[in-house]
Amino acid sequence: MSDPAVSIVVLTHDGREHLAACLASLAQDGWPSADVEIVVVDNGSTDGTASFVREEFPAVRLQTAGRNLGFAPGVRFGAQASRGETLVLLNNDTKVEKGWLSALVSALDVAPTDVAAVTGRIVSWDGTKVDYRDTLLAFDGHAFQKDFGRPLADVRDDPPGTARLAPCGGNMAIRKETFLSQGGFDDDFFAYLEDVDLGLRLASRGLGTAYEPRAVVRHRSGATGEALGIFNRGFLIEKNAFATFFKNVDDELRTALLPAVLLTFLHRTERILRETAPGGGILTIDPYRDAGRPPGLAAGPRGLRRRAVRAVARLLRVPVPECGPDLAGEHSLSNLRALHRIAVDLPRLEEKRRENERLRTVPTRALFARFPPVIVPTYPGDEELFSSDAFASLLPAGLELPRLALSDVMACPGR
């Protein structure tokens, strides 16, 4: 039996309820077939996914990872096990619309030779709103799904073949050989922004991504993030955003942008600690300027414990310890863990950056001239920071960085 031409790789972890709808929609569209295989990577599920696939969808190839590898390594595992020349990546919490696969694969087949990937359109589960149609890169490595949440009727979409900065990992086609030879998704990302990282890597090597709006899937937005937990998701996004910036911006612009990137991350982390951690108000005290403490800081049992610690310290004639904020809050911890991971991973990031620079054929300024990174206030305190002259003075001269409101980028609840 000859190998199939196309391998659809669907990764799942404890997502049996979502996977059922996904595989059923593929079956209704005629897949798998002699030319198209479906490879389900079971990332260590404990909800009976493996037996469900074997019993209900016996024509599907099941690859069991044995544990939760994460999205990025799990996709690599599935890609390496696949037999098709063309690799199609599909989220497990989606269902495909009629003609999705033929539109996606045909677009890749007829694309110019410098187009490495094709990305399709993703809409809400009820088919009325935009989920994904384009990637907007932020100056610090974060990214936005352009027009996310807007009614489809209010958005004028781009024609087939329009260039994109990066593909969406939940609905894309790429040659298997290209995916693997160009490094695929970075295993260290685990999940989130791995597709943006890949797109930037491809683009720096002169390989593009094209958009095919007729390759439509519907998506249960947030299902994967809810399973991870919002603060575990935040940890991954923060550390991966920094890695995306550090690895993929060339030497000239990385050096020029790094002060603004670091200030933004530290400013956001301080603001989160100050506003969400019990006792966070102590961060506002300058002991050489401020005569008093914010009201309520020493109240209650924690205040009593602090006074007791100071009394014991004086009795033992040791320095009186400063009593800082309680860092046990999940939001605070997610950012501090990301900061720790960035510091620990810096040598690995530097190795990857050097390899990217070795293979680079397109300067970052040329790439950013086509796809300008944006400055978008997203976190508490961003508005104040980004509007300051001091922040503006940190930005590189001659680099276009459009300043947008979050409502310019996507639909915002209550606006």
User: What is the rounded average pLDDT for all residues in the chain?
Assistant: 91
Instruction: Specify if 314 maps to a domain.
Output: no
| Co-location of 245 and 145 in the same domain | no
338 in the same domain as 196: no
Q: Is the pLDDT of residue 296 over 50?
A: no
Q: Report helix, strand or coil for 185.
A: coil
Cα 255 from Cα 271, distance rounded (Å)? 25
Encode pLDDT of 85-117 as tens digits.
999 999 999 999 999 999 999 999 999 999 999
**Is the same domain home to 105 and 248?**
no
Which runs of consecutive H residues, i.e. helices, occur in 211-329?
223-228, 230-248, 251-276, 300-316
How high is the pLDDT of residue 274? 87
Q: What percentage of the chain carries pLDDT values higher than 70? A: 88
pLDDT band at 301 (very low <50, low <70, confident <90, very high): very low
pLDDT at 304: 47
Radius of gyration from C-alpha coordinates of the chain: 24
pLDDT on residue 373: 98
Give yes or no: residues 238 and 191 share one domain: no
Q: What is the per-residue pLDDT across 174-187, written as a single tens digit (0 to 9) for each?
A: 999 999 999 999 99
Residue 316 placed within a domain: no
- Name residue 302's beta-bridge partners: none
pTM: 0.90
Given a cut of 90, is residue 12 above it in pLDDT?
yes
As beta bridge partners, residue 219 has 94, 124
pLDDT of residue 52: 97
Indicate the pairing of strand 171-175 with strand 94-96.
unpaired
Cβ–Cβ under 8 Å, residues 174 and 87: yes
pLDDT over 60 at 189, yes or no: yes
Q: What is the pLDDT of residue 297?
A: 43
What pLDDT shows up at residue 295? Answer: 46
- Whether residues 220 and 247 fall in one domain: no
Please count the structural domains in the chain. Answer: 2
What's the pLDDT band for 121 if we cut at 50, 70, 90? very high
Q: Give me the mean pLDDT over the 116-121 stretch.
A: 98
From 166, 200, 228, the end of a domain falls on 228
Residue 302's pLDDT band, with cuts at 50, 70 and 90, is very low
Do residues 136 and 401 touch, judged by C-beta distance below 8 A? no
Domain CATH number, residue 14: 3.90.550.10
Asked whether the predicted pLDDT for residue 226 surpasses 80, the reply is no
Q: Is the pLDDT of residue 298 over 70?
A: no
* CB of 277 closer than 8 Å to CB of 327: yes
The label of the residue with tokens 């009201």 reads 295
∠ CA 360-162-186, rounded to 5°: 40
Distance of CA 291 to CAs 100, 191, 207, 288, 294, Å?
66, 46, 59, 8, 10
pLDDT of 328:
59
Q: Is the same domain home to 136 and 216?
A: yes
Contact 93/224 with Cβ under 8 angstroms?
yes
Quick: pLDDT tens for 339-368. Answer: 999 999 999 999 999 999 999 999 999 999
* One domain, residues 93 and 187: yes
Among the candidates 194, 228, 262, a domain finishes at 228
185 backbone dihedrals φ, ψ, rounded to 5°: -80, 145
Q: What is the residue range of 165's domain? A: 6-228
Residue 154 DSSP code: G
pLDDT 10s digits, 31-83: 999 999 999 999 999 999 999 999 999 999 999 999 999 999 999 999 999 99
Same domain, residue pair 177 and 252: no
Mean pLDDT to the nearest integer, 373-402: 96
- Is 290 part of a structural domain of the chain? no
- Is residue 117 a contact partner of residue 175, using CB atoms and an 8 Å limit? no
Please, which pLDDT band fits residue 280 given cuts at 50, 70 and 90? confident
- In this predicted model, what pLDDT tens digit does every residue of 234-277 receive, in sequence order? 999 999 999 999 999 999 999 999 999 999 999 999 999 888 87
Residues 404, 385 within the same domain:
yes
Q: What is the mean pLDDT of residues 9-26?
A: 96
pLDDT band at 332 (very low <50, low <70, confident <90, very high): confident
H-helix or E-strand containing 120?
Answer: strand 115-124
Query: Could you tell me the pLDDT band of residue 281, with boundaries at 50, 70 and 90?
Result: confident
Same domain for 250 and 207, yes or no, is no
- Shared domain check, 199 and 99: yes
The answer to whether the beta carbons of residues 7 and 37 sit under 8 Å apart is yes
